[in-house]
A = this chain, B = another copy of it.
Amino acid sequence: MEERIVKKIILGISIILSGFMLAACGSVDNLSKDTSNSSGSKTKTQLTGQTNTDYYQGVIKNGRYQTSKSRGVSVSQESNQFNIKGFENGLLDISKKEFSTKKYIFQEGQYLSTSTVEKWLDRKSKSNPTGLNPVKSKSTNPNTRNPIYLSQIDEQDFMTQSGKSLKLSAMTVGLGINSVDYYKKTAYGPTYETNISNAQVKKQGKAIANQVIKRLRQRAALKNIPIIIALYKQASDDSLVGGNFFAYSMNDDGETKIAKWDTINQKNYVFPLQSDKKGPSQNDADSFDNFKSEIQGFFPNLSGVTAQAQYTDGSLSGMNISITTQFYSQTEIISFTQYIQNAAQRYLPANAPIDITVSSTEGIQSFLSRKQNEKKFSAHIFNSY
């Protein structure tokens, strides 16, 4: 009864608003109710809608997407963009393993604020007792100084519906650990590098993870939910792919110490491989090279064909190919795209999902994609009127 009256009022206020609610909210219709938040004003919670179980639905509050409480910290911290996108995507993939997209609703991290994250990412010091990076050492020698290990933190919240509201039911926290720490000895001086061994990345990452889970459990809302902590090894600043997750831990309700780590065997490569580098599969590298020379023969002015390739447990788990060129006409783009579609089908490794984008100086021209378990590439050619 009450719900119906509320709905009638909402519908009365604005056809557009109510239209949106009914449309954009899929299974969330019963979430569209008014609830009081701490400041006493009314909060309406909605969901983005889910069109594909590859992705979680997201949370909308009062018609606005609920952004992360530490929004933008990674962007300002990281100089290699690939470490950001790869980190966020990889973390979502880990979350999906444990928290089904059918059951859980995704919420951008609401428990770690910008200031908390900034403090945690900083060095421990008198003025910053919660710093998760080691105290500054007197030495500035790259091999003896204490480097910055922890480079970025990402929090993902997973909600379930509880009656008419959303309840936090799980959390995933990703920790990005440097493989190289870039530092300056004097304010405007040159940049030095401390290389951090794989063994140290693991050891320090796991130690920091234990501190993080302990801190999270001190908060009432996080005491009794499952929390995943995942560890990511950051790529160096000059890398054309991001780093990789190497371990994660699923901590059941209430656990304050990490009992067990699951290993993630994932690595990214850039194709064509540099002559001094070896990929996990010579076959895949050759396939790409054949595809590349095929494509580059097609047009007089084709410039670049490169790819990011991801391997999981030794086999190709995804590839993004980027083709840049100077085109003259739309008919050339159409012919080229059809040609790529056939060449991709023939040359590129089977099974793994593959994206191909064709761009000119004026932006993306066409785009091809083959999803996991699909046999054929689909293509889209961008148009203009």
Which residues of A are in contact with B by a Cβ distance under 8 Å? Answer: 16, 19-20, 23-26, 48-52, 55-58, 60, 63-65, 67-68, 71-72, 74-75, 81-82, 84-86, 88-89, 92, 106, 108, 154, 156, 241-242, 268, 290, 293-294, 297-300, 308-310, 318, 320, 328-332, 334-336, 338-339, 341-343, 345-347, 355, 357, 359, 362-364, 367, 369, 376-377, 379-385
Helix, strand, loop or mixed for chain A's interface? mixed
Q: What residues of chain B lie closer than 8 Å to A67, measured between beta carbons?
A: 299-300, 328, 332
Instruction: Closest B residue to A242 by CB, please name it.
Output: B385
Residues of chain B within 8 A of A57, CB atoms compared: 335, 338
Q: How distant is the Cα of A10 from the Cα of B347 in the complex, in angstroms?
A: 19
Chain B neighbourhood of A329, CB < 8 A: 68, 71, 74, 84, 88, 108, 154
A345 is contacted by which of B23, B85, B363 (Cβ under 8 Å)? B23
* Contact between chains at B51 and A379 (CB < 8 Å): yes
Q: List 18 A-B contacts (CB under 8 A).
A: A16-B293, A23-B345, A23-B346, A25-B342, A48-B339, A48-B342, A49-B338, A49-B341, A51-B376, A51-B377, A58-B338, A67-B332, A72-B328, A86-B384, A89-B383, A92-B330, A310-B385, A359-B363
- Whether B241 contacts A49 by the Cβ 8 Å rule is no
Q: If A88-B331, A332-B67, A362-B81 touch, does A55 touch B338 (CB 8 Å cutoff)?
A: yes
A152 to chain B, nearest CB (A): 11
Q: When chains A and B are docked, how far (Å) is the Cα of A336 from the Cα of B241?
A: 25
The minimal Cβ–Cβ distance linking A281 to chain B, given in whole angstroms, is 16
Q: Which residue of B lies closest to A379 (CB)?
A: B51
In the complex, the answer to whether A357 meets B382 with C-beta atoms within 8 Å is yes
The answer to whether B336 and A65 have CB atoms under 8 Å apart is yes
Query: Given contacts A328-B71, A328-B72, A336-B65, is CB(A89)–CB(B384) below 8 Å?
Result: yes
Name the distance in Å between A47's Cβ and chain B's nearest Cβ: 9
* A51 proximity list for chain B (CB < 8 A): 338, 341-342, 376-377, 379
Q: Are A346 and B268 in contact (CB under 8 A)?
A: no
| Contacting residues, chain B, for A320 (C-beta < 8 A) | 382-385
Chain B residues whose C-beta falls within 8 Å of the C-beta of A156 in the assembled complex: 331
Nearest B-chain residue to A345, judged by Cβ: B23
Cβ-defined contact, A330 with B88, below 8 A: yes
A342 touches B24 (CB 8 A): yes
Chain B residues with Cβ below 8 Å from A92 are: 330-331, 334
Do residues B383 and A338 form an inter-chain contact, with CB atoms below 8 A? no
B328 touches A385 (CB 8 A): no
Q: Which residues of B contact A364 (CB under 8 A)?
A: 357, 363-364
**Which residues does chain B contribute within 8 Å of A339, judged by CB atoms?**
24, 48-49, 58, 60, 65
Question: In whole angstroms, what is the CA distance A355 to B52 when docked?
Answer: 19
* Nearest CB in chain B to that of A75: its residue: B328
3 interchain residue pairs of minimum CB distance? A58-B335, A23-B346, A49-B342
Give which listed residue, B65, B335, B383, contacts A65 with CB less than 8 A. Answer: B335
Q: Give the docked Cα–Cα distance between A218 and B332 (Å).
A: 28
